[in-house]
Amino acid sequence: MPYQEADRRTMWLLPLSGFVSGLVTSVVTHRADQSMLSGIVFALFLAGCLGILGILHSYWKAATLIVITTAAYFIAYGAAFGIQLRYPEIVRQAERGDMGSREPASPIALFVGGLVGGFIVLDALMILFSREKTFRGLMRKVLVGTVLSGILGVAGWALRSSVGSGVWHVFHIFNLTPPGELSPRTYYHGEFDYGETTRLYSVYVVWQTGLAAAVAVMLRPVKAALKVGPSSLVKGTPNSSPLKR
């Protein structure tokens, strides 16, 4: 295909895979009680999409990316949980956990978690696939993407009333919400607000879609450098197969 068409494909396919991954993660998070499935879903979607685009064509790189991206979820979760445990005052008084309600993550904790997770994922992607020749250029891209990743964590939390609520209502139609949960909203110390489930739905969808879009932008030079025209398929160049040993 022409370079322009390949570029457009990269720019819409990666964000779309992130969006679908966010929806699937939202389901398995509560079905699997935040098990390893919650971290591996995004890793599989990301690796699969890069394989379809012809950017990822090595089994060892695919395995490395999946392992690192899965680990990034747990490290980011631990960082967010740790900072909220260390500084409980970052959670609004009305939302602090008690015997009747679980405490949702604070925006500050989500920003830190987004920073950590984004840095690990983007750093791995740049090392594995980037054609950047200088360390400074490589780290500049990673750091910009990392800050964006932290902002996406906060944005996901803030969009709970739109994105999170919308996802919750769609899931509820298909009986995919947690058992016994009849509304996306709940009480926190007498205040009526959106619950932890709705907030996590929003964070997963917004963060994974946004990070996948950032990956698309960062890997555009890699995709542009690939010879993906019909002639390469006819001649049997290495890029004619998405994966090779």
Distance, CA of 169 to CA of 27 (rounded, Å): 13
> In this model, does residue 234 exceed pLDDT 70?
no
Phi first, then psi, for residue 237 (nearest 5°) are -70, 165
Long-range contacts of 12-17 (CB under 8 A, 24+ apart): 13/49, 13/52, 13/53, 13/216, 14/46, 14/49, 14/50, 14/53, 14/212, 14/213, 14/215, 14/216, 15/209, 15/212, 15/213, 15/216, 17/45, 17/46, 17/48, 17/49, 17/212
Delimit the domains of the chain by residue range. 3-226
**235 confidence band (pLDDT: 50, 70, 90):** very low
Better pLDDT: 58 or 3: 58
> In this model, does residue 238 exceed pLDDT 80?
no
Are 230 and 223 in contact by the 8 Å Cβ rule? The answer is no
**DSSP E strand stretches across 156-210:** 185-188, 191-194
Tokens for 30, please give them: 């509560």
64 pairs with which residues across the strands? none
DSSP alpha helices (H): ranges in 87-194? 107-129, 135-158, 163-173
Tens digit of each residue's pLDDT (9 = 90 or more) over 111-168: 999 999 999 999 999 889 877 667 787 788 888 999 999 999 999 989 999 999 999 9
> In this model, does residue 216 exceed pLDDT 70?
yes
Better pLDDT: 188 or 230: 188
∠238-211-103 over CA atoms, to 5°? 140
Are 23 and 49 in contact by the 8 Å Cβ rule? The answer is no
First to last CA, the chain: 24
Per-residue confidence (pLDDT) for residue 31, from 0 to 100: 59
Per-residue confidence (pLDDT) for residue 35, from 0 to 100: 54
Instruction: Please choose, from the candidates 32, 123, 37, 124, the residue with its C-alpha nearest in 3D space to the C-alpha of residue 73.
Output: 37
> In this model, does residue 199 exceed pLDDT 90?
no
Distance, CA of 70 to CA of 73 (rounded, Å): 5
Full-model pTM: 0.83
